[in-house]
Amino acid sequence: MRHSFFQNAKCLGQYLHRFRIRKEYPEGTLEVCEICHKQKFFRVIDGKFNNQEYMSYNIRLILPDFHPYYYHEYQYDSNV
């Protein structure tokens, strides 16, 4: 994971974080990684997330199926 897009998304081993929403607040959401249990609060400002920050942690969500990490990330995921 050399590209800067993946700088905050790296989890244990060669995996990317798998954040799930734990709690929602008027100020934002608290998400927890299913793998490493890292907690991250994503603040909502003027009704919106900071997309650049949010995607730097959740880039796994937008991997296209032709991306080299796609099969590695989704081969065992029954939610796909």
Total domains, the chain: 1
Query: How far is the C-alpha of 26 from the C-alpha of 16, rounded, in Å?
Result: 27
pTM of the model: 0.78
Q: Please, which residues bridge with residue 44 across strands?
A: 49
80 domain residue, yes or no:
no
Q: Please, which residues bridge with residue 65 across strands?
A: none
Range of the domain at 28: 4-74
Query: How far is the C-alpha of 25 from the C-alpha of 59, rounded, in Å?
Result: 22
79 domain residue, yes or no:
no
- Return phi, psi of residue 27, to 5°: -85, -10
Tens digit of pLDDT for each residue in 9-67? 999 988 999 999 999 999 999 999 999 999 999 998 888 878 888 888 999 988 888 88
**Element holding 28 (H helix, E strand):** strand 28-33
8 domain residue, yes or no:
yes
10 domain residue, yes or no:
yes
CB atoms within 10 A of CB 54: 20
